[in-house]
Chains A and B, each alone.
Chain A
Amino acid sequence: MATFVFLYFAAVIVMAASLVVVVRNPIYSALSLLVMFFHVAGLYVTLHAEFLAAIQIIVYAGAILVLYLFVVMLLNVKREEQFNRQGPVALFLGVALLTEAVLLTVSRGFTVGTPEPGREEAAVGNTESIGELLYSTYLFPFEIASLILLVAMIGAVILSKKGIMESQ
């Protein structure tokens, strides 16, 4: 049963991801990315990461994607030629990465390390334990993340405001 659920989510994720790349209209592309975000959130729920599933929907689907749609509609871009002439490069890199991944998994016998016996069901996915970890072990990276957000906010304002760059 769990395998079927996973296969459903995986199939929709892969299809929506390829639609993002293939579709000509940027709005359809962003909407199929929305479908993919929702299914990734469903995958998180099956992995007992409920907090991340909620964050995925709120931040990715709610904030980031709305920003994308906003810019797509603001710019009012004409439809243009779809693909670059870098097709061979992309084909080569994609095939190379794929064969590398397949070779690595096959040569390792398609197994990863087994989980440590004692810690298997250590309340994984609990919002409370994530918060505890975030505010104790990862307190410094957490503060750095807030700094990154501040820098991004200032950068976005400076880059998109008219007249700041041209004045000098």
Chain B
Amino acid sequence: MTCGPSSRPVAEPAASPRERRPRRGEGVWYPRWFWPLFATPGIIWLAVLFVVPFYVVLSIAFGTFDQIFRNPVPIWNPAQWYTGTFGKVIGQIFGRGAFLSAPFVRTFVYVAAASALCILISYPVSYYVARYAGRRKGILLVLLIAPFWISYMMRMLAWVNLLQGDGLVNRSLTSLHLVARPVDWLGGNALTVILGLVYGYIPYMILPLFAGLDRIDPNLLEASRDLGASRVRTFLRVTLPMSKQAILAGMVIVSLPMFGDYFTNDLLSGAPRTSMIGNLIDDAVTTPGQGTNGAVLVLILMIILILPMFYYVYSTAKATKERAA
């Protein structure tokens, strides 16, 4: 676009849209660069906070390390990149005797389980708030995002206290005779890590789901009922398909940070048998001489995560096109 929104297209079939210009007195004329200028902060933001840091990670992954101070030494020129570390780490993940495959598989299992739980818990909540909360919608939304007011670390530390051997959870379970002896929640328990991930990230799932469900036109649901569909059928044939994009958005928003999460496992388990990729990356970047390995792990994780991201982008584009049609 070269014109502002107030400049109506002029009926000159011979001219392409690019060549159209508002005539004098027809509306406000904007210079060609005016509207693209609005994208500048976003582009600068993206360049400074994503493109440049990403190139730094790339240069570290294909760099070497200073043998005296054990810091990574990036190689900026791609033509000179050293691929030895990348090959070594790939071998540790996929090669014979690979030992890094276990945390990768574990991470995928944990994230899949935690994301599924997030949906199962947050969908009914969001559905209720969007459709039935009425005037209480505002206050309920505030309550749903209330956990954001407390830092993630504080919330996890609270769970450490609650889940201890003599913590509130174990005391409740034993006093209700649901378990014979206190459950060892914090002794390297995979379930604890998964539940911790769910607890930590579920608000990120609720909000996009609520937004998606709230946008569904109630007339469509009424039409479905008027045409004889039951409540369940209306939900399955109308509500659920129409909330697919919100579910996908929520999945992307919760699962991406979960893949890089290391803090939850550190606080709620700390055992190697529940280590996730994030823990290995954290270990590597904070250990002298291992920064290059950490950068390679980041890249590999990124490559793996690009696939579902592409699916999300494709799916969103498809849905937009369908709506437009």
Q: Decide whether A and B are members of one complex.
A: no
